Chains A and B, each alone.
Chain A
Amino acid sequence: MQWIDTILQGLLLGGLYALFATGLSLVFGIMRLVNLAHGDLIVLAAYLILILVSALGIDPFTAALIAAPVMFAVGWALQYVVLNRTLGDDILPPLLVTFGLSIVIQNALLEGFSADSRKIPAGALETQSIALGGINVGVMPVLTFVSAIAVIVALNQLFYRTALGRAFRATSDDPVTAGLMGIRAERLFAKATGIAMVVVTIAALYLGTRANFDPTIGPARLIYAFEAVIIGGLGSFWGTLIGGIIIGVSQAVGAAINPEWQILAGHIAFLIVLLVRPRGLFPRTVG
Chain B
Amino acid sequence: MPVSPRYRVTTQTTASRVSLVIALLLVVAAAAAPLFVSRGTVQDLFFILTMLVLAQFWNLLAGYAGLVSVGQQAFVGFGAYAMFAAVSLAGLDPVVAILVGGIAAVLLAIPTAFFVFRLEGAYFAIGTWVIAEVVRLVVAQWQTLGGGTGTSLPRSATRDMIGVEQLKDWLGLKSSAAGDVVTYWLALALAVATIAFIYRLLRSRRGLGLAAVRDDASAAGAVGVDGNRMKHLVYLVAAFGTGLCGALIYVQTARISPDAAFSVIDWTAYVIFIVVIGGIGTLEGPIIGVLVFFLLQNALADYGSWYLLVLGLIGIVVMLFAPRGIWGFISDRTGIELFPIRRRLVIDDDPQTPDTD
Contacts and interface: CB of A to CB of B under 8 A. Distances in A.
Contacts of B133: 220, 223, 263, 267
Contact of A101 (B129, B280, B304, B316): B316
B313 A104 contact: yes
A87 to B, nearest CB: 12
B137 A97 contact: no
Q: Which 3 A-B pairs have the closest CB atoms?
A: A34-B122, A103-B312, A104-B312
A95 interface: yes
Nearest to A91: B121
Contacts of B319: 86, 92-93, 96-97, 100
Interface of B: 62, 66, 68, 70, 115, 118-119, 121-123, 125-127, 129-130, 133-134, 137-138, 140-141, 264-265, 269, 272-273, 276, 280, 304-306, 308-309, 311-313, 315-316, 319-320, 323
A38 to B, nearest CB: 10
B264 A274 contact: no
Nearest to B314: A100
A222 B66 contact: no
B2 to A, nearest CB: 48
A215 B269 CA distance: 16
Given A86-B320, A226-B123, A271-B134, 13 more contacts: A33-B122, A91-B68, A92-B66, A92-B280, A96-B276, A101-B312, A110-B304, A222-B126, A223-B126, A223-B133, A226-B130, A274-B119, A275-B115
A223 B272 CA distance: 19
A152 B156 CA distance: 61
A264 B305 contact: no
Nearest to A263: B137
Given A264-B134, A264-B137, A264-B138, A230 B129 contact: no
B126 A100 contact: no
A111 B303 CA distance: 10
B320 A274 contact: no
Given A36-B70, A91-B66, A91-B122, A96 B137 contact: no
A263 B137 CA distance: 8
Contacts of A110: 304-305
A150 interface: no
A176 interface: no
B312 A267 contact: no
Nearest to B126: A226
A266 to B, nearest CB: 10
Contact of A93 (B70, B126, B320): B320
A58 interface: no
Interface string A38-64: 000000000000000000000000000
A143 to B, nearest CB: 29
B130 A223 contact: yes
Contact of A223 (B129, B316, B320): B129
Given A107-B309, A108-B309, A95 B130 contact: no
Contacts of A100: 273, 276, 312-313, 315-316, 319
Contacts of B127: 274
Interface in A192-242: 219-220, 222-223, 226-227, 230
Contacts of A223: 126, 129-130, 133
B126 A34 contact: yes
A108 B311 CA distance: 12
A207 B293 CA distance: 35
A99 interface: yes
B39 to A, nearest CB: 31
Nearest to B68: A95
A268 B126 contact: no
A34 B121 CA distance: 9
A179 interface: no
B312 A230 contact: no
Contacts of B265: 103
Contacts of A268: 134
A243 B127 CA distance: 15
A106 B309 CA distance: 8
Nearest to A33: B122
Contacts of B119: 230, 274
Contacts of A36: 70, 125-126
A278 B119 CA distance: 8
B141 to A, nearest CB: 7
A189 interface: no
